[in-house]
A and B are shown apart, each in its own frame.
Chain A
């Protein structure tokens, strides 16, 4: 079956511009996660959605970052007024269940490589 998909695969933007990154999770997965993979910071958690509950935004690095998940499926990560330090690979993952489910596997998408010039 289809895995997690992300678009675009690559995005080059100029400093100060806004960008939107999209994630399509595996059908039926109720939990969705965004992570960032950068050279200096490794893999960092950004935000988590579980069903219709309020998202866990504890990993977002600044108020320039926001995300939404429409209809419990597709998610969009928005970065406003991009900075050079935002350059990274943004990974999306989904899992069948989230909270309280130990060992629940997260399936990762291929990522979006963002370059801010």
Chain B
């Protein structure tokens, strides 16, 4: 079945540091890939997405590239801010079968001033 493996947290960085959160997946067919973010006390929000190989999703300075050859969708940001502190979830939607999202375990990011 479909699965998402996400870098374990928590991750603690200083402001303006470079961020990478690794995400790899297993799925049938050609899934769509997503990063969702959950800020403290808030609901899940879509951060970015990519629907086919080599697509790059980007939003709020975050980027992730759909790499079919390595089945990966790593999240990156060049310079994190304190306001980026949140839990980040990698997810996929497999077009071949299920309609629901399959999520990774989540990575807690804390950015210190």
Contacts and interface: CB of A to CB of B under 8 A. Distances in A.
A99 interface: yes
B101 interface: yes
A79 interface: no
B100 A56 contact: yes
A103 B49 contact: yes
A108 B45 contact: yes
A106 B30 CA distance: 18
Interface stretch (B13-21, B69-77, B102-110): B102-110
Interface in A86-109: 91, 93, 98-100, 102-109
B101 A45 contact: yes
**Interface residue tally of chain A, by bracket?**
20 to 34
Interface string B55-76: 0000000000000000000000
Given A102-B51, A111-B43, A42 B95 contact: no
A32 B93 CA distance: 14
Interface of B: 30-32, 36, 42-46, 49-51, 89, 91, 93, 95, 98-106
